[in-house]
Amino acid sequence: MSRHRDVKNLDLDDYELDEEPGEEELTEEQEEEFRSAVATVRETLLGVPISEKEIADTVWYYYFDVEKSVNYLLQKASSKAGAKEKQNTDSQKEKKQNKSKEALADAKDPLDESSNGIKNLSLNKNDEPAFQTNGEVKMKNSSESDNQPEKKKIKKQNPTDLVSVPEIFEQSNPKPVVHLVVTGHVDSGKSTMLGRIMFELGEINSRSMQKLHNEAANSGKGSFSYAWLLDTTEEERARGVTMDVASTTFESDKKIYEIGDAPGHRDFISGMIAGASSADFAVLVVDSSQNNFERGFLENGQTREHAYLLRALGISEIVVSVNKLDLMSWSEDRFQEIKNIVSDFLIKMVGFKTSNVHFVPISAISGTNLIQKDSSDLYKWYKGPTLLSALDQLVPPEKPYRKPLRLSIDDVYRSPRSVTVTGRVEAGNVQVNQVLYDVSSQEDAYVKNVIRNSDPSSTWAVAGDTVTLQLADIEVNQLRPGDILSNYENPVRRVRSFVAEIQTFDIHGPILSGSTLVLHLGRTVTSVSLKIVTVNNKRSRHIASRKRALVRISFLDGLFPLCLAEECPALGRFILRRSGDTVAAGIVKELC
């Protein structure tokens, strides 16, 4: 529990009340809960002038209740700030006797950004603290009260403007669209593999590829040229790592593949989670070269964490690309060694079925066994499929295109006389002339144009499609990544809390009731408070490693759109992290 290292020397005796006859001493679990609560309150109030003793005294008084402690200390801090501001105002009043009472009434609010480091704090009694990942404290707006009904500014939908998308989709006999997420430890060759596939399939011409070869060579990174097809920013190319989900598309004879190239570095794990949240299948890339497999898989590398995350996010079938086997002289023994270790882990530890784990040896840089077989020494012993053939054999899940629309937004940007959003249709369907509703901003928008799976000639899209929408009657600042667009007749709900079932991983220190954690759900990353209901169907105040628990989770930064996992799995599965480590995965069971 590294985030608690500042409080492990706290003397609990300083905060004990006078003992009553027969009163029990604190257990080790209660001592740990006290320390955890103090640390959480301190993190929450970062920048607020509150002493360590005041925090500890308050946490003790409220019996380790983080929420009550934070509210009390914020009110106390604001009172101090107000008193100080009042002194300044009185002093100015003495110096400027001719200033009118009306001017004094308009004096600056004592809780603005200039007041003792307290930023924009609203201390309504209904307010709850909200936590940003940068440590800055914000408060929810009092207008977002749980009991306030949603207001809707709805543009009336003309039914004659719409067509029956499900019928058109079924009659079109479309080629299946498959969403893949490509994951693996940093430098395993994910981006290079995808870039090489795109080149082999003709997605980029030889002249453009040669230009990239020259640019990479001139930068001293000649082996990165294929990766640069996806790693397009200057920082990604300079550092040689993918920093956010890079999206691309390629097409085989049997399927259309929408690809998310997830970051492999642990610093960008949120990008990996976002990329995997809506995927149908996963490709896990493993570096087979000497010592690199051991570093990425056996020595606390990202390969293991990625595998846990993939299964937790609902992915049930996986292809393991054993890359760089050419550097091992296409050794069958090395391939079998890696296959045995990884398959044992994926099946016994992570929970994949044996029939749903597939292994394919490749060389991303040379293109061997990606698209078609060549004269490589690999084929002296390997008789299995190429990577693309293995992917073509996967059977994609049925898409819920007749359900109410749920469209998750990945990005938002301004375009001439409209707003453009990119995202994925998780359920239902969308079309030109449709009126959409964004529950987060409580605004509606009119669909002017639809680009479906990179096809600009389309006018509609269904569940499973990646889309670019051109929207009218809405401003760019009224939408944000993580928002969910829906039909106004069946809007997604916006909630402050929900009941979930979670499964913990191997964690360093238990999760305590009242803990503050970071929740990842698609593109949404926000702090939450967790209250334990039961652990393995028994009452408990903490959750240890590899336990199943029923919990109540509360957002600490206002209301968020959310779906039940049984209604829309992609928008009802989430990951919980603490101090940079993944601690649990969960599904939404009930909206509160």
* C-alpha 51 chain-centroid distance: 34
* Rounded CA separation 374/362 (Å): 12
Which residues does 176 contact at the CB level (< 8 Å), separation at least 6? 254, 255, 256, 396
Is 90 marked as binding a ligand?
no
* Bridge partner list, 455: 452
Alpha helices by DSSP H, 219-250: 234-239
Residue 75: CB partners within 8 Å, gap ≥ 6?
123
Place of tokens 């709900």: 493
Bridge-based pairing of strands 435-438 and 511-512 is unpaired
308 in the Ramachandran plot: left (φ > 0), alpha (ψ -120 to 50) or beta? alpha
**Cα 505 to chain centroid, rounded:** 17
Q: Where are the alpha helices (DSSP H) in 6-65?
A: 28-44, 52-61
Q: Is 353 annotated as a binding residue?
A: yes
Task: Please check if 79 is assigned to a binding site.
Answer: no
Q: Report the DSSP pairing between strands 281-287 and 177-184.
A: parallel
DSSP class of residue 455 equals B
* Lookup result for tokens 């009043």: 93
Token pair 């408070």: residue? 529
**Ligand-binding site membership of 233 (annotated):** no
Question: What is the helix, strand, coil percentage profile of the chain, to 5?
Answer: 30, 25, 40
Q: Is 188 annotated as a binding residue?
A: yes
User: Strand 542-543 relative to strand 406-415: parallel, antiparallel, unpaired?
Assistant: unpaired
383 labelled binding-site residue: no
Helix axis angle, 302-312 relative to 269-276, nearest 10°? 30
Helix locations, 517-568, DSSP H: none
Encode 244-286 in three state secondary structure: CCEEEEEECCCCEEEEEECCCCHHHHHHHHHHHCCCCEEEEEE
354 is in an annotated binding site: yes
Q: Is residue 186 marked as binding? A: yes
Q: Is 323 annotated as a binding residue?
A: yes
The Cα 327–Cα 66 span in angstroms is 54
185 is annotated as contributing to ligand binding: yes
Cβ neighbour number for residue 263 with a 10 Å cutoff = 27
- Residues annotated within a binding site for GTP: 184-191, 323-326, 352-355
- Residues annotated within a binding site: 184-191, 323-326, 352-355
